[in-house]
Each structure stands twice: as C-alpha cells, then as structure tokens.
Amino acid sequence: MSPDEEEIVPAVRADNLYKIFGKRSDRALKMLSEGASTDEAKALGVTPAVVDVSFDVEPGEIFVVMGLSGSGKSTLIRMLNGLLEPTGGHVEIDGANITDLRPKELRSVRQKKISMVFQHFALFPHRTVLDNAAYGLEVQGVDTAERRERAQRALGMVGLEGWETHLPEQLSGGMQQRVGLARALASESEIMLMDEAFSALDPLIRRDMQTQLLELQSQLGKTIVFITHDLNEAMRLGDRIAVMRSGRIVQIGTAEEILNDPANDYVAQFVQDVDRTRVLTATSVMEQPLAVVAANAGPRAALRTMRENQSGAAFVLDRERRLVGAVRADPVAEAVRKGEDKLDGLIEEELQTVTPDTAVADLFAPAAESPLPLAVIDERNRLLGVIPRVTLLAALGNVNGHDAPRHTSVAEMEAEADDVPGPAADDDGKEEAAGVDS
C-alpha cells in the first residue's frame, strides 16, 4: 500500500451480502431487500442467516465480527472466501469481485490471498505438525524442501520450534491452534479469516493466544477478519468491531465507540458487562497538559506557569514538544530566589510515561508509583496528554456513563500538574490532545 495512492482499496469488502438458506431463498431475498423484516421472511420457510451486510476491511486492520451463536457470523465469514455462495450481493478481495469466479479461479484466490483459522483447529490427524503447517503450500504446489522451510518459519513465529515431528493429537489445545495459525501464516496470504479461533480454548490460554496474535499482527500487519462471540475478546483484538444480530450488522465502530455510544439497546445491553478499564485506553481519559514549560525557559517563567495553573509541577518540553522531564514548584522557587536563569539541574528526567493505547486497567500501577501525573507520549516521545491520578479514579468511577463530568477539583492534590477539566471521554479527546500545541 503506497501512501500516494489516492484511495486505499479495501482488502475485504462485503457489499449488501445476503445468505438465505431454504428452497424459496430467491423470493425471501427479494422481500428482504425491499425492506421486509427477518421474521416476515422466515414465514416463507427459509432461514435468513446473513441479511444485507456491508463493510470494508482496510489493509492491516483487525476487523472483528461479534455476535451470539446464530447471529450469522460464521455464515458471513464463509462467504468472504467463497466457501458459501452469497444469495445476494458480492464480496471483493483487493478490489476484485470473487463472487462470480469460476471454481478454479476461486481456489487460486484462496491459495494466494486468504487463509483461514478454524474454531476446532481442523488439523489433519494423519499429518505431522510440520506437514499440517505446510498444507497450504502443498496445495499451492510449492516443492517439498521450500514448503518445509517456510512451514518451519511459520511454526517458529508461533513458538512451536521442536514440535515439527509430533502429531496434532499430542499437543494441547492452545498448541494445536498455534499450528492452525502457523498453517495460515505459512501460506503468506495477506488476509486471514479467523472463525472463533480461540473460542474452544480455556480462558487463560485464550488470553495468551490473543496476546500472541496481537504481537504477530504488530510484526506482520495482516488483514484479519476475526469472528467471536466474546465481547471482551472483540474489544481486545479489534481495531473495529461489527456487532451482528440475527443476520444484520447493528453497529460498526471501534471498541470505544461501541462502548460509549451504543447504536441501540441491544448493543448497550451487550456491552454493559464489559470491563471498561480493559477497553478504554489512556487516550480516552487523558487531559490537556496545561502546565508545560519550554526547556530553554527560565525558572521565573516556569514558576509563573505553575502558579497560573495552580499546579505544583510542570512538564518540560523541547521545541518539538518532546518530553524532557518535569520540574517542581519548590526547587524552582528556590532557584528564582537565588536568581538563577536556567532550569538546568532542576529537571527530573525519570518520569512514568505511557503510550496512548495503554488500557486504563494498566494505568493504575504506574499512576500509583508516580508522584506526578502520568505523561502520555507518542512513539516520538512527544507529549500528547497527561493523566493525573484523580482523573484516573474519576474515569474508573464513571464507567457507567460518559456524560457525567469526568472529575472535580484537582487543585488540592499536591504535586499534581493540572486542574483544568480535560476534554470529554469521546473521540474528540484524541484530537484535542493531539492539537494541544495550537
């Protein structure tokens, strides 16, 4: 994907997809596309599994389709690689319509572009781990030596070196699914479909696998369509989440959008039990850093900034808004009294910093250890925002509604650098924090 392309072609695109099982599916399709309800269509004796589903999956994105069993998500994912033929609508892979392809062309798309990971692993019991991982390559006609090498590499990526000659049944469930993952990775297709891939694993293993998938994803940048019925899993993995209910998509959005702005009661009910501290990130609770001083400013200016903001400390930034450190009011006042004109020697450089996508749950430990507010910095060390301890606590108390005021007064907290109400915990927060230097 070169950045100078005018429009990014979605890796996967579903366009008004319908899948209706039953004899009179054509009539049902017509009824549904004219706006009939699913129940009306069911009266024809058909089962509408997927109804008018459209979405784009951007390259490099993890797109999660979340729904309870029977919501049509498994049917949907099987249409994306043509295992099931849509009753209506079509699927595009890298901009090419695959719905009308002949079987042979479709097979070639599956070999090269899309791989799949299955709920119950679907490993071949009569093949070794290595031969299982090499299956996709074998189908592509890659010769033995090369496919073994590539399968070996894929097994290495999922941490299964040394298990090549074992049989799937000799492995634990989590390891088996890693073989399934390696099989999908080995074919080196850009798109991976994961059908309830971790649902058959017990919760601890499932978390490990999620972590591993996220790590792999940060290295490989595949386009992943992930099906799950577990909302926490969806929130943890998904860049965007599509919530499905009886064949329709009821909402598509980021985890935070779905949490904070559910499209309807169904979604709202669904998300009410979610552990928000795991879903909300530093971005959504951080505030504008007001008490900041330039690195080349004098103690007098620093002290004034702190006074203006009724703060006991200030963050020190360089010209590019990169975080240098922090200064506290007392030593600065001392320096002013002594008539010094530089902050050198007063700056504390050991600060607790977090990245914007750190989960709120993971902010508590650093916040507890730090006397200063947490600094939220981007990958270039630029200060995006700050999270005073009291803001964090307020956010925690606030998990049931985003409309309530985020926090009250912070001025009484000693050594807290901020007392101005920050942006609300919605999307705008991100932009305001990012555009803080304007």
Partner 1 sequence: MSTPDMGAHVLASSQWVNQHFPFFGDIGKTIAGWFSWLQVGKWFSALVDWATNHLDPLFSFINDVLQWCVDSLTSVFLFLPALIFALILALIAWGIRGVRFGIFAFLSLALIVQMGQWKDAMNTLSLVLVASVIAVVIGIPIGIASARSSTVSSIVKPILDFMQTLPAFVYLIPAVSFFSIGSVPGVVATVVFALPPGVRLTELGIRQVDKEMVEAGEAFGAPPMKILTRIQFPLALPTIMAGINQVIMLSLSLVVIAGMVGAGGLGGVVYQAISNLDLVAGFEGGVAVVILAIYLDRVTASLGTRSPVARAQKAAAKA
Q: Smallest distance from the beta carbon of 248 to partner 1, in angstroms?
A: 25
**What are the residues facing 14 on neighbouring strands?**
55, 91
**What are the residues facing 359 on neighbouring strands?**
281
Check if the beta carbon of residue 397 is closer than 8 Å to that of residue 391: no
Decide: is 86 part of the binding site for partner 1 (CB under 8 A): no
Q: Smallest distance from the beta carbon of 109 to partner 1, in angstroms?
A: 7
**Sequential DSSP letters for 90-120:** EEEETTEE-TT--HHHHHHHHHHTEEEE-TT
Q: Smallest distance from the beta carbon of 134 to partner 1, in angstroms?
A: 11
Query: Could you give the C-alpha distances from 404 to 53, 316, 400, in angstroms and in order?
Result: 35, 32, 9
Decide: is 24 part of the binding site for partner 1 (CB under 8 A): no
Decide: is 312 part of the binding site for partner 1 (CB under 8 A): no
Residue 221: strand, helix, or coil: coil
Binders of partner 1 among 88-117, rule CB under 8 A?
A: 104, 106-112, 114-116
Candidates 41, 50, 193, 197; binder of partner 1 (CB under 8 A) is 193
Binders of partner 1 among 123-162, rule CB under 8 A?
A: 123-128, 135-136, 139-140
**Residues 277, 220, 9, 246: what is their CA dihedral angle, to the nearest 10 degrees?**
-50
Place of tokens 């459209």: 54
Q: Give the Cα separation of 225 and 116 in Å (integer).
A: 9
CB-nearer residue toward partner 1: 83 or 424? 83
CB-nearer residue toward partner 1: 116 or 280? 116
Decide: is 74 part of the binding site for partner 1 (CB under 8 A): no
CB-nearer residue toward partner 1: 81 or 251? 81
Check if the beta carbon of residue 81 is closer than 8 Å to that of residue 118: no
Q: Give the Cα separation of 216 and 160 in Å (integer).
A: 14
Binders of partner 1 among 169-188, rule CB under 8 A?
A: 169-170, 183, 187
CB-nearer residue toward partner 1: 168 or 429? 168
Residues interacting with partner 1, by CB under 8 A? Answer: 78, 81, 83, 104, 106-112, 114-116, 118-120, 122-128, 135-136, 139-140, 165-167, 169-170, 183, 187, 193
